[in-house]
Structure 1
Amino acid sequence: MASAGSPKCCLELLKNVGKLKHLKRTGWVMRKVPNPETVSGHMYRMSIAAMMFDHSDNVDTNRVLRMCLVHDMAESIVGDITPHCGVTQQDKHEQELTAMTRLAELPAHSSGQEMLTLFKEYEDQSTPEAHVVKDLDRFDMILQAFEYEISENKPGWLDEFFTSTEGKFKHPRVVKWVQELYRQRHEFITSSNESQATSNAGAVPDTAPGS
């Protein structure tokens, strides 16, 4: 059996992580969203968002970034489990912890241990950095929902994602992003409603009155 950190084990880890490039996020699949994003796409944009934090945010930005990259790694083994999958939160946590422990055994000890530590920190929400990653996780979700509403021209279509996260954002920087997203979404919905009203007002009735 290959030892941890060997080329074979490192390749095995990367092959597992590679599955996330093709694993579609369950929430979008269940709502029949065309071309739903993948787990890796979600984590990538979260990581870019993390890079926009700086020293004024009072968090370890590098730690936030690294946590973004590993927080959903276990899904390469267990899949993207949501509350609608019929799995309890405790069972979900245990399945993901087992999977993450298995993945963390593949690279060199220090690297694997860091991945596992970051995963546990996120799951336990035990640090300010973990709170920020949770904020970014939720923010990317509602941003993606808004993008689907625009691409499908269905204003308000995915409102449940907004209501489920309302009031849960904590970090001031993310709160400002959320406020701007809400402003743009309100503008989109209002504009769409006005366009529909104008279209309806200009429609010619099938049958003229009095005919």
Structure 2
Amino acid sequence: MALVENKNILEFLGLVGRLKHVKRTGWVICDIDNCESIAGHMYRMGLMTFLLTDENDPFKLDRFRCLQIALVHDLAESIVGDITPHCGVSPEEKHRREDEAMKTIAELTGLAGDRMYELFQEYENQSSPEAKFAKDLDRYDMILQAYEYEKRDNAPKKLEEFFKATYGKFNHPFIQDLAKELYKQREEFEKKAVLNGNV
């Protein structure tokens, strides 16, 4: 097998580097100032995989695989951008574009790219317990970020749509417990805002 050329690796790293600067579309649409990048979202998802332990993970997930899926699940966005339901693109077309982008990325990096494409497909198809956990992380990081923006901007309930879109969709008990704690803190924040006349 031919060695992957360094110029291709640099092209790959350049694509990945874009994700450090591309803002997530959902926050842009909601007029959130200084909103997170796609890479920032993937980074925190990745770190959350380290929080799995023998005690809080009855499914005994492969933590390294969870980390890998978290790090590649949005890689295609380096080429196609962050497509949301508000963008007027059908789910089928979104999948087609992202699949093509991942194939392009895979071609640049040989065996490593084949591995990334396989993990991306696993996530897209939700075909493993690890992929399902990564989906939980994706949704949880989104509502955690929404709550952080509500607190930062002193705007309780401003991003309620993100909570409604994910409510009842968490499957892993560890993430379910984290979501309960987040809901509790958010409710307390809203009550204080009402008392202070901020709502």
Q: TM-score range by the shorter chain?
A: over 0.9
Residue of structure 1 equivalent to 2:77: 75
User: 1:11 Cα deviation (Å)?
Assistant: 0.7
Residue of structure 1 equivalent to 2:43: 44
Structure 2 matches for 1:123-202, cutoff 5 A? Answer: 123-196=124-197
User: 1:194 Cα deviation (Å)?
Assistant: 1.0
Identity %: 51
User: 1:51 Cα deviation (Å)?
Assistant: 1.1
Q: Provide the C-alpha distance between the structure 1 equivalents of 2:52 and 2:22, rounded to a whole number of angstroms.
A: 28
Residue of structure 2 equivalent to 1:95: 97
Q: Provide the C-alpha distance between the structure 1 equivalents of 2:177 and 2:111, rounded to a whole number of angstroms.
A: 36
Tell me: CA distance 1:54–1:5, structure 2 relative to 1, closer, same or farther (3 Å). Answer: farther
Equivalent position SS for 2:108: coil
User: 1:4 Cα deviation (Å)?
Assistant: 5.9
Q: Provide the C-alpha distance between the structure 2 equivalents of 1:28 and 1:189, rounded to a whole number of angstroms.
A: 20
Q: Provide the C-alpha distance between the structure 2 equivalents of 1:37 and 1:85, rounded to a whole number of angstroms.
A: 19
Q: Provide the C-alpha distance between the structure 2 equivalents of 1:54 and 1:85, rounded to a whole number of angstroms.
A: 38
So what's the TM-score if we normalise by structure 1?
A: 0.90
**TM-superposition CA deviations, 1:48-89 (whole Å, max 9, x none):** 011111244211000000100000000000000000100000
Q: Provide the C-alpha distance between the structure 1 equivalents of 2:156 and 2:98, rounded to a whole number of angstroms.
A: 35
Tell me: CA distance 1:97–1:4, structure 2 relative to 1, closer, same or farther (3 Å). Answer: farther
Aligned residue pairs, count: 195
- The answer on whether the counterparts of 1:4 and 1:106 sit within 8 Å (CA) in structure 2 is no
- The answer on whether the counterparts of 1:59 and 1:128 sit within 8 Å (CA) in structure 2 is yes
User: 1:5 Cα deviation (Å)?
Assistant: 1.6
**C-alpha root-mean-square deviation of aligned residues, in Å?**
1.4
Q: Which runs of 5+ in 1 are unaligned?
A: 198-211
User: 1:110 Cα deviation (Å)?
Assistant: 2.2
- The answer on whether the counterparts of 1:4 and 1:105 sit within 8 Å (CA) in structure 2 is no
Structure number with larger C-alpha Rg: 1
**TM-superposition CA deviations, 1:90-115 (whole Å, max 9, x none):** 000000000001101111x3211110
Equivalent position SS for 1:64: helix
> Which amino acid in the other structure matches residue 83 of structure 1?
P
> Which amino acid in the other structure matches residue 87 of structure 1?
V
Equivalent position SS for 1:185: helix
Return 5-14 or 121-130, whichever deviates more: 5-14
Residue of structure 1 equivalent to 2:10: 11
Equivalent position SS for 1:95: helix
Tell me: CA distance 1:54–1:192, structure 2 relative to 1, closer, same or farther (3 Å). Answer: same
